[in-house]
């Protein structure tokens, strides 16, 4: 999906530079990760693709992988914390992916 490149005179004046903004948030799945997921999915050979793809994600990556897998017509499973936003789970399912819920991981480590 082609996304625009925009500029802002206001931001340019603030920064003292000419800046360009690639609007990847306007990708079909709503994130720049759609490009990487699509490259990965379409880079699989037919034997690999037949096994489907899987990831662990609480949002955008899982949505984008599900989108790419759906475009290729292969299975996608996304393991998501049960605390992930329902909208993210719905987006994965909306693109044809299967959601498997898990306990959220903790960011602290025990000594």
Those residues whose C-beta lies under 8 Å from the C-beta of residue 99, and which sit 6 or more positions away, are: 62, 77, 78, 80, 89, 92, 93
Closest CA to 52 of 17, 77, 83, 24: 77
**Given the residues 28, 33, 57, 105, the one annotated as active site:** 33
**Given the residues 15, 58, 105, 108, the one annotated as active site:** 58
To the query of whether residue 58 is one of the catalytic residues in this protein, the response is: yes
CB atoms within 10 A of CB 65: 28
Residue positions annotated with a catalytic role: 33, 58
């Amino acid at each position: 999906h082609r996304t625009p490149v925009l500029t802002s005179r206001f931001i340019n004046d603030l920064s003292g530079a000419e800046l360009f903004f690639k609007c990847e948030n306007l990708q079909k799945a709503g994130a720049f990760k759609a490009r990487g997921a699509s490259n990965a999915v379409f880079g699989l050979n037919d034997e690999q693709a037949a096994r489907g793809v899987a990831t662990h994600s609480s949002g955008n990556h899982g949505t984008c992988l599900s989108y790419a897998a759906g475009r290729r017509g292969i299975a996608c499973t996304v393991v998501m914390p049960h605390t992930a936003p329902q909208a993210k789970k719905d987006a994965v399912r909306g693109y044809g992916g299967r959601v498997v819920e898990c306990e959220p991981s903790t960011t602290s480590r025990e000594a």
